[in-house]
Amino acid sequence: MKILLILIIITFNMLVTTACDKTRHNGTIKRLDNSLITINKVDSLVNFYMREANVTGLSLSIITNNELAYIKSYGYKNKINHTELTENSIMSGASFSKLVFAYIVSSLAENNLIDLDKPLYKYLDKPIYDFEEFADLKNDSRWKEITARHCLSHSTGFPNSRYFNRDHKLEIFFKPGSNTAYSGEGFSFLQLVIEEITGVSLEELAQKIVFEPLKMTNSSYLSLKNLNEGYASGHNILEDTYGLQFNSNAGAGGSLQTTIIDFSKFILHLMDKNNERLVKRIISPSIRIKKKNQFPSLSFEETDRYNSVNLSYGLGCVVMDTKIGRAFLKEGHGMGFQNYTISFPEVGSSIILMSNSDNAELIFKYLLEDIIKDNFTLWEWEGYIPYDKLSKESIGRYLYDIIVMDSIDNAINTYRKIKESKLKDRFIFDEAELNNLGYQLVKEGKMEDAIKLFIINVEEYPKSANVYDSLAEAYSLIGKIDLAIKYYEKSIELNGNSKSSNTLEKLKVLIRSTK
């Protein structure tokens, strides 16, 4: 029965068009204010901003009058190897994944295979906490309130990722549907339910409902095999390459691999008037957004600044009302990859930006405004602060993301390189940065990683009693008493035997424990 139902969906989605075979611009592109910009000017702007902000590679697609007007790639696929980025280079779609998944779920809803507002537990044969991934929810019954709409509109109450939460445990932070908090966890929750309902994997659903009908031949929620030469490498803010990361598990929230050509086909499909009913389901407001900024996800600082545009989450996207009609947009942010797209269906215009550089978001505001006259994107809410307007940020917070998504060794290597580069002035460097980050890792039980940071801090600030105290405490927590005693003694020495009663007491306890 389940396979039969999927066949219905496949038939439903065969009625698609793929209008991405050629561009139509005649040397100029119509912008949102109806003015024209030349192709040469577009190239000049992209190259200028990429050079100014050290953006390694970027692919650009522009849609006007519901047709592909322009598509081009700039810069490097891999800077170390000096290989050029092309329109066929496979890139991480990151959270572009969410919009594609929302389309899949909306297609299922169109065929009455799921009710977006029905509690998801009613589709399961056992409690959600019986699935290992969601075992943490056993003592919080609010999971029974979660619907598909909550998952797709970031209103489940889940954090963005449990790995940024204490002890890496999944929690619900507010009543589902009562507020918003951007959440990849919500998409994982819904993915599980969808796969249970259909008996089909996300990758198979995506291929049958989206990729095959739209001829997105270089797209997948899994890493495409035998195409290593087709992958773009991600680059950090120093333009060093990250290693290629392959997805062995499909993730609705972020594992999409795609090209600028393929994703343009998908956006063109959403803009097609023949799909208006389905797309309306996706881009209709599901819940108003009152947050001052989209990130951090669980920040609850509110504002009425965006009331005039009715800023809301649709399904898998953000929607807002502008003077040229409803706009829907989606970001994609991952290690070494930064993407953005915004579409205006009523005037048939879209732009897609895909980059394999951690610096790309520094130029998004200027590219959007200068190329298509997009003055609608809420760049402050998105956090797209331009490269020439940056204020200093915490080096500790920057390194934490690298530790979570990659490794402590990569974070330390990046720290050292940044301190020796012209990017040093972008960050706050003081002993508290690494110390606070180290204690965060201690709280998470990552003792060896914390000790590596504390050692670096001792090297950086050898005259600080506090950094030796922190290193000693970490060693004591893992039972390396001799080292703990050594560094507590150094801390007391640097303190001049004053203001160190607490440290002295810790030292005495450790010395007694060795007798």
pLDDT digits (tens, 9 = 90+) for 265-305: 999 999 999 999 999 999 999 999 999 999 989 888 999 99
Are residues 460 and 378 located together in one domain of the fold?
A: no
Are residues 330 and 260 located together in one domain of the fold?
A: yes
pLDDT more than 70, % of the chain: 93
Q: How far apart are CA 174 and CA 238, in angstroms?
A: 39
Inside any domain, residue 116:
no
Higher per-residue pLDDT: 71 or 230: 71
Query: pLDDT category, 7, cuts 50, 70, 90?
Result: very low
Which of 339, 366, 387 is the last residue in one of the domains? 387
- CATH code for position 327: 3.40.710.10
Q: Which residue has the tokens 């940044």?
A: 418
User: Residue 226 has what pLDDT?
Assistant: 56
- pLDDT surpassing 90 at residue 164: no
Are residues 360 and 227 located together in one domain of the fold?
A: yes
Are residues 412 and 495 located together in one domain of the fold?
A: yes
What domain count does the chain have?
2
pLDDT per position as a tens digit, 314-346: 999 999 999 999 999 999 999 999 999 999 999
Q: How far apart are CA 175 and CA 432, in angstroms?
A: 36
Inside any domain, residue 235:
yes
Query: pLDDT category, 1, cuts 50, 70, 90?
Result: very low
User: Residue 3 has what pLDDT?
Assistant: 47
User: Residue 500 has what pLDDT?
Assistant: 63
Which of 369, 387, 405 is the last residue in one of the domains? 387
Are residues 316 and 406 located together in one domain of the fold?
A: no
Query: pLDDT category, 167, cuts 50, 70, 90?
Result: confident
pLDDT more than 90, % of the chain: 84
The parent domain of residue 275 ranges over 2-100+198-387
Inside any domain, residue 140:
no
Inside any domain, residue 296:
yes
**92-119 b/e (C-beta count within 10 Å ≥ 16 → b):** bbbbbbbbbbbbbbbbbbeeebbebeeb
Inside any domain, residue 161:
no
Are residues 262 and 337 located together in one domain of the fold?
A: yes
Q: How far apart are CA 415 and CA 183, in angstroms?
A: 28
Are residues 383 and 398 located together in one domain of the fold?
A: no
Are residues 311 and 430 located together in one domain of the fold?
A: no
Inside any domain, residue 106:
no
User: Residue 510 has what pLDDT?
Assistant: 84
- When pLDDT is averaged across residues 188-217 and rounded to a whole number, the result is 97
Are residues 306 and 235 located together in one domain of the fold?
A: yes
Taking CB atoms within 8 Å and a gap of at least 24, the contacts of 381-388 are: 381/291, 381/292, 381/293, 381/294, 381/306, 381/311, 382/294, 382/331, 382/340, 383/293, 383/294, 383/295, 384/340, 386/362, 387/52, 387/53, 387/359, 387/362, 387/363, 388/52
- pLDDT surpassing 50 at residue 416: yes
- When pLDDT is averaged across residues 79-93 and rounded to a whole number, the result is 96
Which alpha helices (DSSP H) does 274-358 contain, by range?
Answer: 276-283
Inside any domain, residue 448:
yes
Q: Reduced to 3 states, what is the DSSP secondary structure of residue 184?
A: helix
- When pLDDT is averaged across residues 162-173 and rounded to a whole number, the result is 85
Helix, strand, coil percentages for the chain (3-state, nearest 5):
45, 15, 35
Query: pLDDT category, 421, cuts 50, 70, 90?
Result: very high
Are residues 368 and 483 located together in one domain of the fold?
A: no
Query: pLDDT category, 223, cuts 50, 70, 90?
Result: confident
Which of 387, 404, 427 is the last residue in one of the domains? 387
- Find all residues with CB under 8 Å of 261, minimum gap 6, and list them: 20, 61, 71, 87, 88, 218
| pLDDT mean across residues, the chain | 92
Are residues 252 and 379 located together in one domain of the fold?
A: yes
- When pLDDT is averaged across residues 81-95 and rounded to a whole number, the result is 96
Inside any domain, residue 266:
yes
User: Residue 247 has what pLDDT?
Assistant: 81
pLDDT per position as a tens digit, 38-78: 999 999 999 999 999 999 999 999 999 999 999 999 999 99
- CATH code for position 439: 1.25.40.10
Q: Which stretch of 8-22, 238-252, 479-493 has the lowest confidence by average pLDDT?
A: 8-22
Are residues 271 and 376 located together in one domain of the fold?
A: yes
- pLDDT surpassing 50 at residue 14: no
User: Residue 373 has what pLDDT?
Assistant: 98
Q: Which stretch of 164-178, 199-213, 417-431 has the lowest confidence by average pLDDT?
A: 164-178
Q: For the whole model, what pTM was predicted? A: 0.92
Q: How far apart are CA 492 and CA 490, in angstroms?
A: 5
Contact 341, 330 (CB under 8 A): yes
- pLDDT surpassing 90 at residue 508: no
Query: pLDDT category, 245, cuts 50, 70, 90?
Result: confident
